[in-house]
Structure 1
């Protein structure tokens, strides 16, 4: 699974990055919160939209894998990834 040719975009309030999955879940609308990028992908607090997209691109494979798993548990629904989706469960 990977992020599709849809260009990821930052929301107007810079609170999340929207993207779509390719492959089996093609077209699935997804988003990851700024807080998740800060907590798990080293986005600096207060970073601009360009830096958010760079951080998203750097973590794209891990983000897409979590988004795919979440979309399988809630088929047909938009996927919004938060910090808790990336928390290590022990």
Structure 2
């Protein structure tokens, strides 16, 4: 899947950033929480919207990889990434 929404949007409450993934037969609405950006991408707690977008832009490969895993687990459903989704489980 590829990111097709090159301009991710920040929610009005600044609690998440939404983006879209597309594949050969589907398009999925996705979001990553601010909590995940703080825990996994070093976003400061008091960051403004510009800094939020920078944190998102700094980690697209990892964000997309985790989103794609969730899409495969729940095809056709919207994806919301939290800090827990980035934890390595053994």
| Common fold: TM-score over 0.5 | yes
* Structure 1 stretches lacking a partner, 5+ long: none
- Matched with 2:76 is 76
- For residues 47 and 64 of structure 1, what CA distance do their matches in structure 2 show? 22
TM-fit CA distance, 1:80: 0.1
Residue deviations 1:31-53, cap 9 Å, x none? 00000000001101110111101
Asked whether the equivalents of residues 19 and 29 of structure 1 are also in contact (C-alpha less than 8 Å), the reply is yes
Greater Cα offset, 46-55 or 24-33: 24-33
- Matched with 2:27 is 27
Count of residue correspondences: 90
Asked whether the equivalents of residues 31 and 81 of structure 1 are also in contact (C-alpha less than 8 Å), the reply is yes
* SS of structure 1 residue aligned to 2:30: strand
Task: Name the structure where strand makes up a greater proportion of residues.
Answer: 2
What's the TM-score once normalised by structure 2's chain length? 0.91
Asked whether the equivalents of residues 30 and 67 of structure 1 are also in contact (C-alpha less than 8 Å), the reply is yes
* Structure 2 stretches lacking a partner, 5+ long: none
TM-fit CA distance, 1:26: 4.6
Quote the RMSD (CA, aligned, Å): 1.4
What's the TM-score once normalised by structure 1's chain length? 0.91
